[in-house]
Structure formats: C-alpha cells, structure tokens
Amino acid sequence: MPSILIDETHDPARESWVESANGHGDFPIQNLPLGVFSRGGDAPRGGVAIGDMILDLGKLALSGLLKGPAADAAEAAAAPSLNAMLALGAEPRRALRRCISALLAKDAPERAQVEPMLVPMAEVQMHLPAHVSDYTDFYVGIHHATNIGSLFRPDNPLLPNYKHVPIGYHGRASTIRPTGAEVIRPQGQTKAPTADAPSFGPIAKLDYELELGVWMATGNDLGTRIPIGEALDHVAGLTLLNDWSARDIQAWEYQPLGPFLAKNFLTTVSPWLITLEALAPFRRAQPPRPEGDPQPLPYLWDEADLREGAFSLDLEVYLSSAAMREKHIAPMRLSHGPASNMYWTIAQMVAHHASNGCQMQTGDLLGSGTISGPEHGSQGSLMEITRNGKDAVELPTGETRTFLEDGDELSLAGRFTADGAVSIGFGQCTGVVAPAKV
C-alpha cells in the first residue's frame, strides 16, 4: 500500500494567479483534477481544472515548460482520452501535478506563457476522462445493503456472504456517460405484485444510486493477482457515480443472476478524475468492524489499508423538479452522509476483483455501490428514503416523490475535508429525466 505523500502541492497557503481558484469550492490549486474537454470544433483533449478555467494539456505539452516524466505525462494526455497517460502509472502523474501546481502558483514567473493555455469551463463540453474498458459495480455500502434487505427480508437483511466478500456484478461500459447526459426513462418488462402476467412499457420506479467511481490506471496480466498491498498503485483516482436504476425491472429480473436491464441503460459520472495524489491529505483509517464481525481472509487484509484506506469525504444528493426550476426554487437536499459508510475499502475491491486472475486494464471503472448511512436523511437512493414507495417525499412546491418523474434533475456532490487542508470536490454529477422513447 503506497504511503500518504504530502508535498508542496497540498500546502494550504498556496494560492493561484487564477483568481477564481482561490476559495473555489471544488477546484482550488490543491486539487488539479484531470479531465477531457473540447471547445467548438476542436478535438477532445486532456485538461486540468483550476477554478472556473481549464489548463489545456495539449498546449502545455508543446510549450517546452515541462521536462522528463512530467512532459511524458502531458504529451500522453493530449489525446481524446487519458488512457495513455494513466497507463504510465503514478510517478509521471505526480511529476505533472507538481509542475502544474508550480506554474499556476501565485507569482509564478511563467504566468505570461501559461495564461493563453487556459480555457473558460463555461465554453467547453466535457467528455469521459478515459475510454472505459470494463465496468464493475460493487455493493460495499453496508447500510444500503441492510436497508434494502430489510425491505424484503426483515428477519435476515444481510446475506451470509456479505461480511466475507466484496460483492459485485459486471455492468455495461457502453452506457457510461459524463454529467449532463439525458436520462431517458427506460422501458422494460415488469410485473406488478397483483398482476397475473408481466407487461412491457415505460418503467415507473426510476431511482438513483449515490456511489463513488474508481478509475484504474494500470492493470495485471491474465491469470495473475493484484496483492492488496499494491492495489492502490493501480488506481488513478476517484469520481462521483450515479448508477441509475429501474427498480420495477430489477424486482422482476434479478432472480437468480442479479442486475441486468435494471442497471445497464445509463451510468453517469462526474467528468473530473480526482487523482490519488490530490487525495493524500484526506486519507483516513478504515472504521473498525463491529465486534463479532469476521476478519477478512488474508488476501483482503492489509494493515496499511486499515490505517489509511478510507477517505474523509462528505456526500450529498439534491433533487430539483421542473416546477421548482420554473419557480427558481433551490434544489432540495435528499440526503447526506460520509463515505466512511463503505464496509470494504477501494484496495479490497481491486484486490478481490483480480483475486481469481481476472485481467484489470487501464480505464476500467469500478463503482462502489450505493453509499448510505443508518439514519433517515443519509440514504443513497429513493428506494430507501421512501421505503419502496410507501413514504413519499414532499418537495417545496407541494409535489411529492416516491421515485423520479420526468423533468426531475438529480445531482450528486462530494467534498473532501480535513483539518489543516484546503477542501476539494468533484464538480457536478447531474442528469435530467426525459420521457421514454416509445
């Protein structure tokens, strides 16, 4: 497990000559996340967020301001995806971060050379940061698993294997989109509890799931494993992830093989990849397991991961109906809670995924599964908040919701905070529900 590396890029006193970065809620100079953007008719290329601007890595690569591994990383990032850059591993990524931080720091002598490389965020289109090789969604939010299980198995909400193995399923990479992609209400085969036979049509129980996305930087050869102590060496960084879910399809299809069409119609991610280097000040000890819980098997157990495998991260979900937006009413917060509600760590997810020799690849995306808390107001899905539609949520307009309706805008937000560190965030992860295409 790589130790926490704090350097000058995390200095809370460091400010940027890009004025919008100073005090920015998501993208101060201490963050410097990676993404892919395009402007006008230009080809997509890599960039770094700084305040409300983007530093064009294609132009930076040609500037002559970078040398060695930092130059290699910038050159690799000057492409329609960051896969080539991520495949270089952590050291070139860290070198590029340190150079960019110095170039953007207040009083940097290179300001006149760098300033023309900035592009206003408001003028760009964001793309996925990497070509997604494969997508796997885990189920590491223990309170979500308990909340959902209690709806259907009140006497035994957690299945026996949950505390022994990080459970996951293979999702659909082709339907992953960056924030802002239209959420077209899916159609599918469903069966109401009182119906004699199933029917096909637009689904009624459209839901969201609040998750973290994990971008893989490097993988492993087929037939080999990734030791847990090396797992984070293979991870590039994190994103927010919304695993849109059709609960009525899910209820009818999931036995005996689990999620399929209920989950694969769309997955939304925030487009900025927050690197592990930026997250160093926010690494925390994994919360201790409750007394009596089994200790993971040796391939899932690492003392360093226990000490610094979790993150000090607060997560929030907001809902805005079409009527709310028409009346200029602020979005309503549906839930909030800490990411420490994850029962399994990211390193445990990666190590388990490769434990049977499965080949992980650059650009693979892992979802954490829904992150919920045990209290009302901390749940990460409407399925939990409304108890499968039994308890409606009232909006400021007087409207009610059990599940998402056409015109609803759903937004995820996340903020990393720690004493003595400048807080950083992910940026937007949003989607507006559109009617089914019948």
Q: What radius of gyration, in Å, describes the C-alpha atoms of the chain?
A: 22
Is residue 56 within 8 Å of residue 117, measured between CB atoms?
yes
224-241 burial, b if ≥16 CB within 10 A, otherwise e? ebbbbbbbbbbbbbbbbb
Instruction: Reply yes or no on whether 24 is catalytic.
Output: no
> In which region does residue 143 sit, left (phi positive, over 0), alpha (psi from -120 to 50) or beta (all else)?
alpha
Is residue 366 within 8 Å of residue 342, measured between CB atoms?
no
User: In angstroms, rounded to a whole number, what is the distance separating the alpha carbons of residues 163 and 85?
Assistant: 36
Contacts 24+ apart (CB under 8 A), 414-419: 414/212, 414/240, 414/313, 414/314, 414/315, 414/316, 414/339, 415/25, 415/26, 415/313, 415/314, 416/274, 416/279, 416/282, 416/311, 416/312, 416/313, 417/282, 417/312, 417/313, 417/314, 418/281, 418/282, 418/312
Please list the residues that pair with 168 across neighbouring strands. Answer: 138
Instruction: Give the dihedral sign, CA 88/94/95/101.
Output: positive
Please list the residues that pair with 211 across neighbouring strands. Answer: 241
- The closest alpha carbon to 309, from 158, 413, 166, belongs to 166
Is residue 392 within 8 Å of residue 400, measured between CB atoms?
yes
User: In angstroms, rounded to a whole number, what is the distance separating the alpha carbons of residues 276 and 314?
Assistant: 17
Q: How many Cβ atoms are within 10 Å of 340's Cβ, its own excluded?
A: 17
Please list the residues that pair with 389 across neighbouring strands. Answer: none
User: In angstroms, rounded to a whole number, what is the distance separating the alpha carbons of residues 292 and 242?
Assistant: 33
Check 24, 143, 144, 352 and give the catalytic one: 144
Distance (Å) of CA 84 to CA 37, 45, 48, 94: 16, 12, 16, 15
DSSP state of 105: B
Residues marked active site are found at: 144
